[in-house]
Amino acid sequence: MKPMKKKLTAALAGNPNSGKTTLFNELTGSRQHVGNYPGVTVERKEGSCRYGGVELQIVDLPGSYSLTAYSAEEWVARNFIVNEKPDVVVDILDASNLERNLYLAVQLMELGAPLVLVFNMSDMARARGFEFDLEKLSRFFGAQIVETVGHKGVGIKELLSAAVTTAQQNGSGGTRPFVLDYGREIEAELSKITALIQAHGRVKGNYSARWLAVKLLENDKELKASVAAPEVHEQAARSAERIEKITGETPETVMAGRRYGYISGACQEAVRSTIEIRRTISDRIDSVATNRVLGLPVFLGLMYLVFQLTFTVGDPFMGWIEKAFGWLGGMVEGWWPEGSGSLLKSLLVDGVIGGVGGVVVFLPNILLLFLAIAILEDSGYMARAAFIMDRLMHKIGLHGKSFIPMLIGFGCSVPAIMATRTLENRRDRLATMLVAPLMSCGARLPIYALIIPAFFPEAWHAPMLWIIYLIGILLAVVSAKMLRSTLLRGESVPFVMELPPYRMPTLKGILIHMGERGGLYLRKAGTIILGLSIVLWAMTAFPRLPEEEVAHFEAARQAVAAGMATEQEKVESLAAIGNEEGEAALKHSIAGRVGYAMEPILKPMGFDWRIGTALIGAFAAKEVFVAQMGIVYSVGEADEESETLRDKLKSAYNPLIGFCIMLFCLVSAPCMATIAVTKRESNSWRWALFQLAGLTALAWALTVLVYQIGRAGGIGS
């Protein structure tokens, strides 16, 4: 008898929208970490928990409908189960949509995985009138079955008990694979392929001969590549041809039908509807939320409310952070005598505190935006947003599935471009990844949060943010249409999206999602933004003014001190000289010279050399624009009575220029990380550089057009 293992690996499998992530969060809480699977851009989530003296390492596999790999997510899920051989596979099912969800369970049974079935959302299933004979179903599917309500934490102990028991009983060797009878014709062909696999044995990977024969007959491209014997491939092709001739359908269609037939028979025996299935609450909400006429206005209205929340609730917290960094800057400045020109003081006050503080101050806005998006995602509404956009996307040559990466782009363009891997058609993938940066990512929000309150009255804060996000969506749609009509012309593949039932988001789930993204923002501020702030500070600080110019300004100060009649006049004159010296120092610096060199290109947009230097930093990371503007406007005038950065911008520019800054930052070249991931996902520098140059040219043309029309009409002046 094998000794009881004290450390077990449990893989969470299941369809998308089955509540798998909620259960993972309930099981692991804060004891989890996120990375990527080696070689692919698919998220890997792992966590741990203890039960009955056993430590469980829990791996949250990507959502999958099948073990036949049609996407990177399904490829990762299957290969983890086959190659890593977890001690137990916990298959999470939506109990209110049982027959659809059991398809993956049947394939896991065929694979021989030690299996526990979790009927999640069992309360919803009962509300819809379903009753389950769990004992019968357990016999049919050869696995323990546990009922849970993930968002309420119901059934978690029972789940852990079943997982540990199954793992300890079966060990890492798995269970005897379930053999599904595919019918006389298919079974005969499977026997031929299985015999050849066993005879030749040239197979990469630890697969059973029958399971591999099933996958070859289903035309699984990845597993076909694992078989080196040409005899096996020839037999599989002959068998597929024979089955198609006899049935009039492809083998994968016939075999899927057999699996669903087994599931249907089991459910007929063990699932009973106690009442007529009524029109659900989800259906009633969807009659408005996905209505052909009302759906889009509802979506736009919800987005407006999100932006209203971002500003109104976040504003007081921003003020507190702003005061805290102001106090910190004043305290550090106090370490030197008044009027000291110390480089270290300038680095700490202007570079580090001014640069990083200028970005961190917008953390409340970032957290609130991600809070709202997490609620919309966890409630099931974001899937409806893609469904609503499906009709519009079809008209531009894409489909609703392409809108999912665009929605992810509201958080960050990098995972948005990675998410295009779910699109089967290469033209759809390329078009979507090229326009995804037009969705306003979280890195642009600090720019909007700086500019909007500086130039627009409070009543216009949410509308202006809503407008700039809407412009991004419309530009993405128009750009995708142009790409699909020209460079990427071709047919779009059909698309069906499953709409999950609405659910009440859990506080834990929302806080985890918000905390992950907020933590990423802070880590970026403390690493990338800090480093870039120091570089940009150095560009504004060096080279220093020549000694004769410094002597000129010092002589002017002495003349003021000796000649002014009143103390007030003296203070004002000295401040004017300080500002003039700061301006001269900036113009003499590397940043100033680069900015001045760019001015012929910037002037048609209404921008000056200061904005130009900030835009250079924004190419590395969009938030750096705010940090650089803070550095530029703090040089030579940082003291306790200094105006806030917003006030300085308001005195230097007008609302039209403020809007043009936001427009250019929205459309122009995405950050370096986005360009790099576009190259990797498209496997071509040509598309990455096309994205870089194309978006920058589009941004310049649009901004020039808006500024020149606005100036001619006297707008914003």
Instruction: Evaluate whether 146 touches 157 at the Cβ level (below 8 Å).
Output: no
Strand-pair partners of 60: 12, 45
Note the pLDDT of residue 654.
92
Which one, of 492, 277, 480, 503, lies nearest residue 384 by Cα? 503
Q: Is the dihedral of CA 654, 656, 659, 660 positive or negative?
A: negative
Distance CA 15, CA 98 (A): 11
Residue-level length of the chain: 717
Note the pLDDT of residue 424.
63
Distance CA 18, CA 501 (A): 10
Report residue 506's pLDDT band, with 50, 70 and 90 as the boundaries.
Answer: confident
Residue 37 pLDDT more than 70?
A: no
Note the pLDDT of residue 399.
60
Residues 6+ apart with CB under 8 A from 501: 94, 96, 121, 124, 280, 282, 380
Q: What is the pLDDT of residues 593-624, one digit of tens each?
A: 888 888 899 999 999 888 888 887 777 678 77
Which one, of 410, 419, 465, 473, lies nearest residue 443 by Cα? 410
DSSP 29: T
Task: For the chain, report the end-to-end CA distance as a whole number of angstroms.
Answer: 85
Distance CA 223, CA 217 (A): 11
Distance CA 157, CA 60 (A): 18
State how far Cα 470 lies from the chain centre: 19
- DSSP assignment of 387-451 equals HHHHHHHHHTT--HHHHHHHHHTTT-HHHHHHGGGG-SSHHHHHHHHHHGGGS--TTTHHHHHHH
Provide mean pLDDT across the span 570-577.
74
Q: Is the peptide bond before 543 cis (omega within 30 degrees of 0)?
A: yes
Q: Does domain 184-273 sit in CATH 1.10.287.1770?
A: yes
DSSP 82: I
Distance CA 47, CA 28 (A): 5
State how far Cα 577 lies from the chain centre: 49
| Token output for 570 | 């003296």
Q: How many CB atoms lie within 10 A of CB 175?
A: 17
Residue 3 pLDDT more than 70?
A: no
Fold that domain 7-170 belongs to in CATH: Rossmann fold (3.40.50)
Instruction: Evaluate whether 636 touches 667 at the Cβ level (below 8 Å).
Output: no
Note the pLDDT of residue 641.
35
Helices and strands of the chain, counted as H and E runs: 34, 9
Q: What is the pLDDT of residues 299-334, one digit of tens each?
A: 888 888 887 887 688 778 877 887 888 788 788 888
Give percent above pLDDT 70 in the chain. Answer: 85
Spans of all domains in the chain: 7-170, 184-273, 544-588
Note the pLDDT of residue 640.
33
Note the pLDDT of residue 701.
96
Q: How many CB atoms lie within 10 A of CB 380?
A: 19
Residue 91 pLDDT more than 90?
A: yes
Provide mean pLDDT across the span 173-190.
78
| Token output for 80 | 């983890």
Strand-pair partners of 48: 57
Q: What is the pLDDT of residues 151-169, one digit of tens each?
A: 888 999 999 999 999 998 8
Note the pLDDT of residue 475.
92
Question: In terms of DSSP bridges, do strands 115-120 and 88-94 run parallel, antiparallel, or are they unpaired?
Answer: parallel
* Higher pLDDT among residues 594 and 55, named by residue: 55
Report residue 552's pLDDT band, with 50, 70 and 90 as the boundaries.
Answer: confident
Provide mean pLDDT across the span 334-341.
75
- On average, the pLDDT of the chain sits at 81
* Helices 655-667/685-712 angle, 10° precision: 160
Instruction: Evaluate whether 115 touches 108 at the Cβ level (below 8 Å).
Output: yes
Instruction: Evaluate whether 267 touches 99 at the Cβ level (below 8 Å).
Output: yes
| Token output for 358 | 């200028």
Note the pLDDT of residue 214.
92
Note the pLDDT of residue 202.
65
Which one, of 357, 351, 359, lies nearest residue 635 by Cα? 351
Note the pLDDT of residue 638.
32
Note the pLDDT of residue 561.
73
Residue 482 pLDDT more than 60?
A: yes
Note the pLDDT of residue 376.
83
Provide mean pLDDT across the span 104-127.
91
Lowest mean pLDDT among 58-62, 138-142, 499-503, 703-707: 499-503
